[in-house]
Structure 1
Amino acid sequence: MDFKNSKTMHNLMNSFAGESQARNRYTYFAGIARKAGYEQIAWIFEDTANNEKEHAKVFFKHLVSYLGEEPTIVDVQAKFPVVLGNTLVNLKASVGGENEEWTILYPQAAKIADEEGFPEVAESFRQVAEAEREHEKRYQAFVNNINNDTVFKKPAKVKWRCRNCGRVIEDASAPQTCPACKHPQAHFEVCAENY
């Protein structure tokens, strides 16, 4: 099939646009989380924004590889969420968006790309969908933590790490202030020992 007449071209362009706008939205959400005292959540939004930039790049590279170096205008026909609430609202919106990408949009786009004879594009959609699944998972974990008031306290002792200076403290709750660098509780996260 001719790429310029394919649904795959439009799916790639819509996905490029979707990932690009998600990146900006997550950057906005990070600022709101930071102002609310959620440094780790702000970092997760920023990290995910960077992931979305890379997803957009994957899709854009496919477009360029098929369309060549001459400028080409491709129409975008897609719906994008408009939301800018508090951190919980923003997390819930993010869960919904990530879920739609990995359960509906990208699997459908992969199927179409396979049917139209673009297996490498189909594989990119499948791989990016797996990343989006993980994004949904961690956003949902933070929704649960806020709803259960367990962002800075847990039912049992855990290791809390100051994201500013690295001080680790074992307790059920993160300290109000880091004893080492004096940064507020907002800078603590559960210490992940994945090394």
Structure 2
Amino acid sequence: MSKQLKGTKTAENLMKAFAGECQARTRYTYYASVAKKEGFLQIADIFIETAENEKEHAKVFMKQLLKYGMDGEVVVINNAGYPVAYADTLKNLQYAADGEKEEWSDLYQGFAKTAEEEGFADIAAVFKNVAKVEEKHEARYRKLHKNVQEHTVFKKNGKVYWKCNNCGHVLESLEAPPKCPVCDHGREHFEVWVENY
């Protein structure tokens, strides 16, 4: 690359984004443990899935730094803050949704604007594309938060199909059974069954 990234605000923003994605990944793995202990296995799986997405976002930002010859360099981060947020599943979903919203609606939009102003249109596009993913993460966390808050994780207003993720048994009901009639695993192993293929 002919353009120099070192010493730019864009380099600092890439490192802020990298650090932010890394800490979000770690928090989401913590949140998954809490959700699992509280009997929300599907939510735990979603936290883990999202943590893996965040790992890949961090990698994308690191690759941008490497693409511009920054291997072995130190990038100083100024004026960055990261949340101390760890509670029960309901609060953790709120924390996660709020963090995702800040990323897509504020941070990455601003980082993209700075990258464009500094002549890094390719990096601006990366920030914009990752922001689109974070917007979907926020929406999913808000839906899950609503389900936990309204006690509708395992009970719905109308009949739905419930699938036991242990043995695959599917049944139609307003709510997941206390135990699977096939394998005896508890309610926490059920989720709404959706075929999207």
TM-score, normalised by the number of residues in structure 2: 0.96
* 1: CA distance, partners of 2:165 / 2:76: 43
Shift of 1:97: 0.2
Measure the CA separation in 1 of the matches of 2:55 and 2:168: 28
1:38 Cα deviation after fit: 0.1
Matched, 1:123 2:153: no
2:163 counterpart of 1:158:
no
4+ runs deviating over 4 angstroms: none
Correspondence for 2:76 = 75
Shift of 1:68: 4.2
CA distance in structure 2 between the partners assigned to 1:100 and 1:12 by the alignment? 16
C-alpha distance in 2, partners of 1:126/1:165? 41
What is the match of residue 24 of structure 1? 26
The aligned residue for residue 41 of structure 2 is 39
Letter in 1 for 2:59: K
Aligned to 1:103: 105
Task: Measure, in 2, the Cα distance between the counterparts of 1:17 and 1:76.
Answer: 9
What CA distance in whole angstroms lies between the structure 1 residues aligned with 2:131 and 2:168?
Answer: 33
User: Paired residue for 2:59, among 57, 60, 68?
Assistant: 57
d(CA) in 1 for partners of 2:196, 2:162:
14
The equivalent of 2:15 in structure 1 is 13
Q: Secondary structure in 2 aligned to 1:127?
A: helix
CA distance in 2, matches of 1:81, 1:125: 21
| Structure 2: segments with no counterpart, 5+ residues | none
For 1:32 and 1:122, how far apart are their aligned partners in 2? Answer: 36
Please report how far the alpha carbon of residue 5 of structure 1 lies from its aligned counterpart in structure 2 after TM superposition: 2.1
Matched AA of 1:144: K
Name the count of aligned residue pairs: 194
Q: Output the CA distance in 1 between the equivalents of 2:40 and 2:145.
A: 12
SS at match of 1:20: helix
Match of 1:175 in 2: 177
What is aligned with 1:85?
87
**Per the alignment, in what secondary structure is the counterpart of residue 4 of structure 1?**
coil
Q: Distance in 1 between matches of 2:73 and 2:167?
A: 49
How big is the shift at 1:161?
Answer: 1.0
- Contact between 2:10 and 2:115, CA under 8 Å: does it hold in 1? yes
For the aligned residue pairs, the C-alpha RMSD in angstroms reads 1.0
Aligned 1:126-141 pairs, distance under 5 A: 126-141=128-143
Amino acid at match of 1:168: V
The secondary structure found in structure 1 opposite 2:6 is helix
> What stretches of structure 1 of length at least 5 have no aligned partner?
none
